Amino acid sequence: MTRYLWSERIGPGYIHGYEICPLYEKRTKFQRLLIFSNEQWGKGLILDGIVQTTLGDEFIYHEMMVHVPILARNKDTESVLIIGGGDGGVLREVQRYKSIRRIVQVELDEDVIIACRKYLPEICGDWNDKRVELIIGDGAKYVKEARERGEKFDVIILDSTDPIGPAIVLFERPFHEDLAAILKDDGIVVRQSGLPVTMPKVMPFIRKRFLHVFENVSVYMAPMPTFGGEIAFVAGTKDKGLSITEPKREFSGRYYNPSIHKSSFTLPNWWRDLIVNFKDDGKVPVETPSYW
């Protein structure tokens, strides 16, 4: 198969180069989608010029997004809302829990799901599972309407793209107010919050937005080599007494274990400085440096 040199502009003047075999390409209604294969990282998904997931490191990201909130809760989790997550990796990890009876996933772009099902089945969870309600639509709209209906979730996972294009709405203040309204008092929300090394404002911005609506907010990290370094996650709960940093039950994944859970909340000083020095001008930081 012909190989092409493809690159992602990770930061200003900093490019990750891949030799890729394109497997599928489509300009969807919302974004430009590319599925590729690469010798080092295996198959992967690119949206609007930004690597979203690869077989080589997806387990780190997906396990940390799912097991940290679920295992930090004192109770068994019964209901989960996933916003975004069209590659199905978060769904796959959520489905490991027998206690979960209801999984709602709201993904904007059906083409992402169709392509990932076909080309990245190793990553995808099972959308045919009777517990899953898949809704193709905007996550912000769903959350607003769920609030009006009085629905509540134990765990909410925001696995959306970076703050560009259709994902921007998920970074606005009204979205966070609706989000808090649909989280149970002892529930936990987690959101992928970009790479502080290349998007220094995104994590402190999300943390501020979370602090507006949640009593108890923590930041944790995981290494994501194809993203360009360590990714930040922000977790929030209304329960002041709940220690998100402490796993309450045993679980062992490929990356996740209870010690990793605890240690991932130990932040380097320069991340703490980003948090302390962050000035909120009210604008969503659009820092993603991709070519698109």
* Residues known to be catalytic: 159
Q: State the nearest-atom distance from the C-beta of 140 to ligand SAM, in Å.
A: 6
Nearest alpha-carbon partner for 281 in 208, 212, 179: 208
Nearer to ligand SAM, 162 or 239 (CB): 162
Q: Which residue reads 């703050």 in tokens?
A: 163
Q: State the nearest-atom distance from the C-beta of 190 to ligand SAM, in Å.
A: 12
Task: Give the residue at shortest CB distance from ligand SAM.
Answer: 84
For residue 37, the cross-strand partners are 21, 43
Which residues have C-beta within 8 Å of that of residue 132, sequence separation ≥ 6? 91, 95, 103, 104, 105, 125, 126
Range list of H helices, 182-221: 202-213
Residue 104's Cβ-side half-sphere holds a number of Cα atoms within 13 Å equal to 18
Q: What is the DSSP letter of 255?
A: S
Nearer to ligand SAM, 63 or 109 (CB): 109
Nearer to ligand SAM, 116 or 217 (CB): 116
Which residues have C-beta within 8 Å of that of residue 212, sequence separation ≥ 6? 173, 176
Nearer to ligand SAM, 161 or 237 (CB): 161
Contacts with ligand SAM, residue ranges (CB under 6 A): 30, 52-53, 61, 83-87, 106-109, 112, 138-140, 159-162, 166-167, 169-170, 192
**Structure tokens given for 289:** 């440096």
Q: State the nearest-atom distance from the C-beta of 58 to ligand SAM, in Å.
A: 8
